[in-house]
Structure 1
Amino acid sequence: MRIYYFFICILIFSCTPHDENKFSLNGKMQAEGNGKVLYLIDAQSGRALDSTIIEDGRFEFNTKLPETPIFVKLKTKYNFLYTELWLDNNAMVFDAKNKSFSQAAIHGSKAQAQSEKLTAQVDTLPRSERNEVLQNFIFENNDNLLGVVTLYHWFINWGKERTEPVYNTLSDANRNTVYGKEIDHFLTLNTNPDVGDQYVDVSLRNPEGETKKISEFMGKTVLLEFWSTTCAPCRKDNVHLVGEYEKYSNKKFEIISVAIDTDLEEWKAGIEEDHLKWINLSDLNGYRGDVAFIYGIKLLPSNYLINEEGKIIARNLRGDELTETLRKVL
């Protein structure tokens, strides 16, 4: 089973500044958060808008918001508690008393309500219908934040071919948001190399923090393996890769594991636990790193078998298929 990356949050109203502050957010939750500082973060700028302390399973914000609706992150340090939501200039309620923090019932925001409604609608559709609904939705809202945020949460899943024509319909203002700029960065970098193509070189860091290029390890048969410490099928595959490496590492064969991770210590621990004694690299930017953008990584595990001349000769080999291919090649 492969891990698919996707997430959607939808906004249906244009963002407008306002003078009269009517916003408040009153929350109730389980006691696990008591004593922790809860931060309200502008998702676009990354700027902290406010903070408060959770006491007796309750918290309150009376923040002057720069504009509404606004997409925010509500989180504690290290993301022990974390969720994302839309805020409006209204009195709002966040109810996680009898459910997890990330699944809280949120009241008082028309934008959040519409987001949840559309998400539920999309989740019930077959993929082809879902993509058509989302694409048309972005077309209809290409000149406000709604359109670009929707595309931002789907472009990795969609890939370049579907994303680019939709992105090209966005207004200049939307393209200049943080969301629009990241989508443009993906479209600029993405090459989606396939069997018969040359591999694409990229600079990454090893666990010691040293910058290394993939090209430094070429000139032999190389398995370029994309994985993550949080991907159970990847961890299972690592067991098989260890055996293949032991058989062929003295026969001009190398494995380069590129971790689609974000946490350095978890990455290091995964390398040690799985006994990955080959080349380990990452940019620790997860699915939104340059290497993931270049190779179009949207599911894990993924791999490329590259020959001594740098040409991709196979993709996504696992288990017995990988064993047999390596036997023939080496």
Structure 2
Amino acid sequence: MRTRAITPVLGLLAILLMSATAIADKSGYTISGTVKGGQEGDTLILAELDYLNLIPVDTTVIKNGKFVFTGDQKEATFRYIAQIKNGLVKDGNGFMLENGNISVNIGDSIQGGHGTPNNELWNQFNDENNRIGAKADPYWKVANDSTLDAGKRTEAQKELDKIDKRQSEYLLSFICQNITSGVAHYLLTSYYPSMDIPTLEKTVGAMEKAGVKDELYATVSQKLNAIKNTGIGSTFTDIELNDPDGKPIKLSTYVGKNKVTLIDFWASWCGPCLAEMPNVIKAYELYKDKGFGIVGVSLDNKAEAWKACIQKLKLSWPQMSDLKGWQSKGAAAYDVTSIPATVLVNQEGKIIGKNLRGEDLTEKLKELLNVK
């Protein structure tokens, strides 16, 4: 993990967080600040961040050298204020939006917001995380300098890995110590998809200890269970979804029939999936008479596109989908966060391979099916 990150938050800050929330809930929020180099009448947007995209939720203009946003925010969340010039983002600043009086300046060296508990907590996190991350700069230069010998570059990479580990440890410690805060909620939402089993277990444990049983807790717990239940050697998780005709079918029906079953997660809109499909078809044609079967689990949203792609590619094996895209129940059951993804299951229902593609898949099938 490369992040740019506090010392443990004491009881006083926890009290401030609770009391400020109680007070702010009645008064809403007021965000005020200045823009370095800004002109009277310049537009600013208050926006959500969707990956790298800004989704405006409010706008204002500079008046008398300052800007102001007002509103009400039930729960603290991350937002971004951007200065717009000629339709383009010129500058901006990210902060925690919550009820209360928040100061945010654009274009100077002061990053983040100030004046409310979650903003002070956010700034503390970033200060410490940046302090750790800054130590990586000289090693990055060495590790990426192709003119240096391999030994020096390898040693630099080892140092980078140590720094990366320290940042990951700090992130986990910060989230667990401040688990009820809006900052921890935002960080956990951002990083839980890449967390391993021990990290997820500590996080879920901290949430349970603090009595946090919200939607995010359910999501993180589901991911933890999915990883535990879908590792190699685990018993496969059954899925029941509709086939292209709208009839429910179960994965277990085919696992029990085949000697080896490939669960193939794909979608008609997925370029890499379509590029890999000739290899999947080749493997099926080679070994379908030897006991090999495939069940396609689509992350499509539109039935028409899904059905048309099946016909175009002439996919003859069973297909299922709930047409919910990345919210697919099947994808969640197997912790699928990118596609194409595959899971190989034997007739006894044990997972014996994951994400095998191309020659790796055909060679594995040759071994499993005792093909000479």
Task: State the TM-score, normalizing by the size of structure 2.
Answer: 0.59
Deviations 1:171-196 (A, max 9, x none): 66662332223223334554333344
Q: Which amino acid aligns with 2:298?
A: A
- Aligned residues of 2:47 and 2:79 also touching (Cα < 8 A): no
| C-alpha distance in 1 between matches for 2:286 and 2:296 | 17
Q: Which amino acid aligns with 1:311?
A: K
- Aligned residues of 1:258 and 1:281 also touching (Cα < 8 A): yes
- Aligned residues of 1:8 and 1:154 also touching (Cα < 8 A): no
Q: Which residue of the partner structure matches residue 92 of structure 2?
A: 105
Residues 310 and 164 of structure 1: CA distance in aligned 2, closer, same or farther (over 3 Å): same
Residues 190 and 305 of structure 1: CA distance in aligned 2, closer, same or farther (over 3 Å): closer
| C-alpha distance in 2 between matches for 1:196 and 1:270 | 33
Deviation at 1:288, TM superposition (A): 5.4
User: Would you say 1:191 and 2:228 are equivalent positions?
Assistant: yes
User: Would you say 1:326 and 2:365 are equivalent positions?
Assistant: yes
Q: How does 1:16-165 map to 2 (within 5 A)?
A: 16-17=21-22, 18=24, 19-23=26-30, 64-67=71-74, 70-71=76-77, 85-86=78-79, 93-95=81-83, 97=85, 105-106=92-93, 108=104, 110=113, 114=122, 117=126, 121=130, 126=161, 127-165=164-202
Deviations 1:112-146 (A, max 9, x none): 89489579849876442332121122133123232
Residues 291 and 96 of structure 1: CA distance in aligned 2, closer, same or farther (over 3 Å): farther
Q: Which amino acid aligns with 1:317?
A: L
Q: Which amino acid aligns with 1:64?
A: G
Residues 161 and 210 of structure 1: CA distance in aligned 2, closer, same or farther (over 3 Å): farther
Residues 273 and 96 of structure 1: CA distance in aligned 2, closer, same or farther (over 3 Å): farther
- Aligned residues of 2:342 and 2:355 also touching (Cα < 8 A): yes
| C-alpha distance in 2 between matches for 1:94 and 1:311 | 51
| C-alpha distance in 1 between matches for 2:245 and 2:271 | 25
Aligned mate of 1:312, from 340, 346, 351: 351
User: Would you say 1:259 and 2:298 are equivalent positions?
Assistant: yes
2:348 alignment partner, SS class: coil
Q: Which residue of the partner structure matches residue 240 of structure 2?
A: 203
- Aligned residues of 1:138 and 1:166 also touching (Cα < 8 A): yes
Residues 290 and 53 of structure 1: CA distance in aligned 2, closer, same or farther (over 3 Å): same
Deviations 1:72-129 (A, max 9, x none): xxxxxxxxxxxxx427xxxxx433547878x973463616894895798498764423
Q: How does 1:164-243 map to 2 (within 5 A)?
A: 164-170=201-207, 175-218=212-255, 219-220=257-258, 221-229=260-268, 231-243=270-282
Where structure 2 has 5 or more consecutive residues not aligned to the other structure, the ranges are 33-41, 50-55, 61-66, 95-103, 105-111, 137-159
Q: Which amino acid aligns with 1:105?
A: G
Deviation at 1:158, TM superposition (A): 0.9
Residues matched between the structures, number: 283
- Aligned residues of 1:206 and 1:280 also touching (Cα < 8 A): yes
| C-alpha distance in 2 between matches for 1:286 and 1:94 | 31
Deviation at 1:168, TM superposition (A): 1.0
| C-alpha distance in 1 between matches for 2:305 and 2:83 | 32
1:197 alignment partner, SS class: coil
1:169 alignment partner, SS class: helix
Residues 52 and 256 of structure 1: CA distance in aligned 2, closer, same or farther (over 3 Å): same
Deviation at 1:241, TM superposition (A): 0.9
2:342 alignment partner, SS class: strand
Deviation at 1:266, TM superposition (A): 5.5
Q: Which amino acid aligns with 2:221?
A: D
| C-alpha distance in 1 between matches for 2:239 and 2:296 | 13
Q: Which amino acid aligns with 1:256?
A: V
- Which has the higher Rg, Structure 1 or Structure 2? 2
2:283 alignment partner, SS class: helix
1:142 alignment partner, SS class: coil
- More displaced stretch, 195-204 vs 263-272: 263-272
Deviation at 1:238, TM superposition (A): 1.2
Q: Which amino acid aligns with 1:130?
A: Q
Q: Which amino acid aligns with 1:95?
A: Q
Bigger RCO of structures 1 and 2 (CA < 8 A, at least 6 apart): 1
User: Would you say 1:294 and 2:333 are equivalent positions?
Assistant: yes
- Aligned residues of 1:160 and 1:187 also touching (Cα < 8 A): yes
Residues 308 and 65 of structure 1: CA distance in aligned 2, closer, same or farther (over 3 Å): same
Task: State the TM-score, normalizing by the size of structure 1.
Answer: 0.65
- More displaced stretch, 116-125 vs 263-272: 116-125
Q: How high is the sequence identity, in percent, across the aligned residues?
A: 23
